[in-house]
């Protein structure tokens, strides 16, 4: 077996700096001059590039569209954002290439400070809250609703949608290709293993894995009170 090595985390320690004043002014001006459809069209024009202007314009457009938009946000290439007007995105958030954040016109999506979202992640962000400093692995998904399937004499996709709020606690880590189902709360500082399918709530500091996900261990349970106090303090 190849030898493992430790190296210092990068994103988790990065302190976001304030975005330039001219960029804030650009977003404000575009918000005044352009409608939502025009802003989305402009965003799409810069969605696939990686140079300075592309990155800046993606951020400026989404700042003009979003309900709230923090400083120091990095938006990767070909990130798809649907109903950004329902979204509150905190400072220092990283959104990887080809991620999809699919809001709903009457929904709510809150992404806390310092969140890292891996490439090709998918958020069915109908009623979604992600706490501060959450790690979201590449390809991991959250589903925010399901069809009732009732009545049985019509196609399932025509039956009513049941929207289940999803809550991801601060400091949690969601593994690559994990799936979080509607109505689930993942507790603070918990770990969801790669490929897990989470069908029920995960307690704080738990480690879960499998299909369906089950508790396989705990992260220093003797320190839960101290850590919960620290998480609570960081969210003020």
- pLDDT above 90 for 225: no
Comparing 4 with 189, which gets the higher pLDDT? 189
The pair of structure tokens assigned to 95 is 């959104």
Q: With bands split at pLDDT 50, 70 and 90, how would you rate the model's confidence at 220?
A: confident
* Close Cβ partners of 164 (under 8 Å, ≥ 6 residues apart): 127, 144, 145, 146, 181, 182, 183, 184
Query: What pTM value is reported for the model?
Result: 0.89
- Residue 43 sits at φ, ψ, to 5 deg, of -55, -45
Mean pLDDT of the chain: 93
The pair of structure tokens assigned to 135 is 């790690």
Q: With bands split at pLDDT 50, 70 and 90, how would you rate the model's confidence at 2?
A: confident
Region of 30 on the Ramachandran plot (φ > 0 left; ψ -120 to 50 alpha; else beta): alpha
User: Got the DSSP string for 166-217?
Assistant: EEE-TT-EE-TT-EE-TT-EEPTT-EE-TT-EE-S-B-TTEEEETTTTEEEE
d(CA 39, CA 134): 29
* Close Cβ partners of 74 (under 8 Å, ≥ 6 residues apart): 55, 93, 94, 95
pLDDT tens per residue, range 116-168? 999 999 999 999 999 999 999 999 999 999 999 999 999 999 999 999 999 99
The kind and range of the H/E element at 120 are none
Q: With bands split at pLDDT 50, 70 and 90, how would you rate the model's confidence at 4?
A: confident
> Within 13 A of 165's CA, how many CA atoms are on the CB side?
9
- pLDDT above 60 for 224: no
């Amino acid at each position: 077996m190849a030898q493992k090595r430790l190296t210092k985390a990068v994103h988790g320690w990065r302190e976001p700096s304030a975005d330039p004043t001219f960029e804030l002014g650009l977003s404000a001006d575009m918000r005044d001059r352009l409608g939502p459809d025009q802003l989305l069209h402009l965003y799409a024009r810069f969605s696939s590039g990686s140079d300075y202007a592309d990155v800046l314009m993606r951020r400026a457009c989404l700042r003009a569209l979003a309900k709230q938009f923090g400083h120091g946000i990095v938006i990767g290439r070909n990130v798809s954002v649907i109903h950004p007007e329902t979204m509150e995105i905190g400072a220092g958030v990283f959104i990887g290439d080809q991620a999809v954040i699919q809001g709903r016109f009457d929904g709510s999506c809150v992404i806390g400070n310092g969140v890292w979202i891996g490439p090709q992640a998918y958020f069915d962000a109908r009623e979604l809250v992600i706490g501060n400093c959450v790690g979201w692995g590449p390809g991991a998904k959250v589903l925010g609703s399901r069809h009732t399937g009732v009545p049985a004499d019509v196609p399932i996709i025509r039956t009513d949608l049941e929207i289940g709020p999803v809550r991801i606690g601060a400091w949690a880590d969601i593994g690559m290709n994990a799936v979080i189902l509607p109505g689930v709360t993942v507790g603070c500082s918990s770990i969801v293993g790669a490929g897990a399918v989470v069908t029920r709530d995960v307690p704080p500091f738990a480690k879960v894995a499998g299909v369906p996900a089950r508790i396989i261990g705990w992260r220093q349970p003797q320190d839960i009170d101290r850590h919960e106090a620290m998480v609570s303090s960081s969210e003020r």
